[in-house]
Chain A
């Protein structure tokens, strides 16, 4: 083999190797989704499935070493709080959501989203009281599945609360919180995105960067199966 052919072969092998490495990196990035967590079947007399969530001001080093100070959702599974925003729920069912909200208010940029929409009865319960809207200034986060028409505003914990949760996972027995419950109906199978509409990404442009732009914190998927 001539020197020229050897050079061509060497460059070719190097280019292919770099291409494969880049391809593997992109494939890994593109397929890195938070671990899906399934809703648990509700008692037979109620029907549907239960989904228990919490929102926290700081996810903490234990659950997110890379971004410990980011705001985040957590989901309850087998008695533990899991850092995931991909939820698997059954098709054509009622999903009963219980959400513990530990963060303080940020406020909605669009007050239109202060009305509860798309839930059963068009309402939610807030600390045991049925409501159909909140003061948009008091919103801390939202749980919204736009494709399903579900928009649920989540009011924040008072900034003067005596025992705010400093780091996730937060527990209702020890930290100030709001309890929100609502139910919504799922339709056909598919993957639906959900997101928070409150600009709660502290320190980012319009509050919509960081945890708002990263899967696993303030947005994810509802997998209807």
Chain B
């Protein structure tokens, strides 16, 4: 019995599996990857994750199917250990391998770099000096991390500080993230925002919430004994509800407001009387 054309047979199998798998990855697995569609940035990250999964799917299938194919069709016959012939100098295989892997890596690198600096990409244009700043009006909100709690300051509302985060829907938000002590990281998961909170640094990130929702806020930088307790729920509300909330906050936290320093992008607070 003549040996079948393994290359052709395996290629057909791989193509068939890829054609079946890709729609599943795009329409079934992709939406489950997260962080959801709570903001332009979150949706952008979902798209990025799906694109990377689509690129990875044929590669994973190639490796897994070849392993399976080899186990079935290239199994060592029982009764003796046979050494296969050495394959050397096959420039066709080598060239194909180098070209395909190089192209894939370059695609991922270019796509990742472009999306990282775009307003809705995985990086959301964030950083101390953002590369990408969304156009139009923005609501500045300062995120102040401290061991072990986040507080929030609204410079356009008299500099009032609040213990919880409430944001208006369909409004471009400029988050100015800083820390009063050690390194923290502000992570609003469902909004697709994660920004390091470093002392003496103003880390800027943009987010545009697109639906009324509750979202999780947590610290994602190990920062001490109560790091795990730096958790809270934030809320995206309608614009009128936000205006009511911020007006109430200005009254509720008036006493604290009177004690606050003037609004600044970073703070170097005293005391360090007992600090080492």
**Contact residues of B between 166 and 214, Cβ < 8 Å to A:** 180-182
Whether B163 pairs with A203 at a CB distance below 8 angstroms is: no
Chain A residues in 8 Å Cβ range of B261: 111
Closest to A111 in B: B259
Chain B residues in 8 Å Cβ range of A214: 225
Tell me if B146 counts as interface (CB < 8 A to partner A).
Answer: yes
Compute how far the CA of A214 lies from the CA of B144 in the bound complex, rounded to whole angstroms. 24
Checking A107, A151, A209, A219 against B276 with a beta-carbon cut-off of 8 angstroms, the contacting residue is A209
Compute how far the CA of A137 lies from the CA of B253 in the bound complex, rounded to whole angstroms. 18
Whether A109 pairs with B271 at a CB distance below 8 angstroms is: yes
Compute how far the CA of A106 lies from the CA of B273 in the bound complex, rounded to whole angstroms. 7
Whether A199 pairs with B271 at a CB distance below 8 angstroms is: yes
Tell me if A155 counts as interface (CB < 8 A to partner B).
Answer: no
Compute how far the CA of A115 lies from the CA of B274 in the bound complex, rounded to whole angstroms. 22
Tell me if B224 counts as interface (CB < 8 A to partner A).
Answer: yes
Compute how far the CA of A205 lies from the CA of B275 in the bound complex, rounded to whole angstroms. 5
Chain B residues in 8 Å Cβ range of A107: 270-271, 273
Compute how far the CA of A203 lies from the CA of B151 in the bound complex, rounded to whole angstroms. 26
Whether A208 pairs with B229 at a CB distance below 8 angstroms is: no
Chain B residues in 8 Å Cβ range of A135: 259
Whether A201 pairs with B274 at a CB distance below 8 angstroms is: yes
**Contact residues of A between 110 and 141, Cβ < 8 Å to B:** 110-115, 117, 132-133, 135-137
Tell me if B269 counts as interface (CB < 8 A to partner A).
Answer: yes
Closest to A134 in B: B259
Tell me if B263 counts as interface (CB < 8 A to partner A).
Answer: no
Compute how far the CA of A201 lies from the CA of B272 in the bound complex, rounded to whole angstroms. 10
Chain A residues in 8 Å Cβ range of B40: none
Give the shortest distance, in Å, between B186 (CB) and chain A (any CB).
15
Checking B225, B256, B276 against A115 with a beta-carbon cut-off of 8 angstroms, the contacting residue is B256
Chain B residues in 8 Å Cβ range of A23: none
**Contact code string A183-225 (vs B, CB < 8 Å = 1, else 0):** 0000000000101010111111111110011110001000000
* Total number of A residues with any Cβ neighbor in B under 8 Å: 38
**Contact residues of A between 135 and 149, Cβ < 8 Å to B:** 135-137, 146-147, 149
- From known contacts A109-B271, A110-B146, A115-B253, infer whether A203 and B276 are also in contact, taking CB-CB under 8 Å: yes
Chain A residues in 8 Å Cβ range of B259: 111-112, 114-115, 133, 135-136
Size bracket of the B interface: 20 to 34
Compute how far the CA of A124 lies from the CA of B180 in the bound complex, rounded to whole angstroms. 27
**Contact code string B252-265 (vs A, CB < 8 Å = 1, else 0):** 01011011110000
Chain A residues in 8 Å Cβ range of B215: none
**Contact residues of B between 218 and 276, Cβ < 8 Å to A:** 224-226, 229, 232, 253, 255-256, 258-261, 269-276
Chain A residues in 8 Å Cβ range of B229: 146-147, 193
- From known contacts A146-B149, A208-B224, infer whether A106 and B253 are also in contact, taking CB-CB under 8 Å: no
Closest to A213 in B: B225
Compute how far the CA of A213 lies from the CA of B182 in the bound complex, rounded to whole angstroms. 13
Checking B151, B224, B260, B276 against A213 with a beta-carbon cut-off of 8 angstroms, the contacting residue is B224
Compute how far the CA of A213 lies from the CA of B261 in the bound complex, rounded to whole angstroms. 27
Compute how far the CA of A115 lies from the CA of B249 in the bound complex, rounded to whole angstroms. 13
Chain B residues in 8 Å Cβ range of A200: 274
Q: Which of B232, B253, B274 has the most CB of A within 10 A?
A: B274
Compute how far the CA of A135 lies from the CA of B253 in the bound complex, rounded to whole angstroms. 15
Checking B225, B232, B256, B272 against A133 with a beta-carbon cut-off of 8 angstroms, the contacting residue is B256
Chain B residues in 8 Å Cβ range of A205: 182, 275-276
Which 7 pairs across A and B sit closest by C-beta, in order of nearness?
A115-B256, A107-B271, A133-B255, A111-B259, A207-B275, A207-B274, A202-B274
Residues of chain A whose beta carbon lies under 8 Å from any beta carbon of chain B: 106-107, 109-115, 117, 132-133, 135-137, 146-147, 149, 151, 193, 195, 197, 199-209, 212-215, 219
Known interface pairs A109-B270, A110-B180, A206-B147; 11 further A-B residue pairs with C-beta atoms within 8 A, sorted by A's residue number: A109-B271, A112-B256, A112-B259, A114-B256, A115-B255, A115-B256, A133-B259, A149-B163, A197-B146, A206-B182, A207-B272
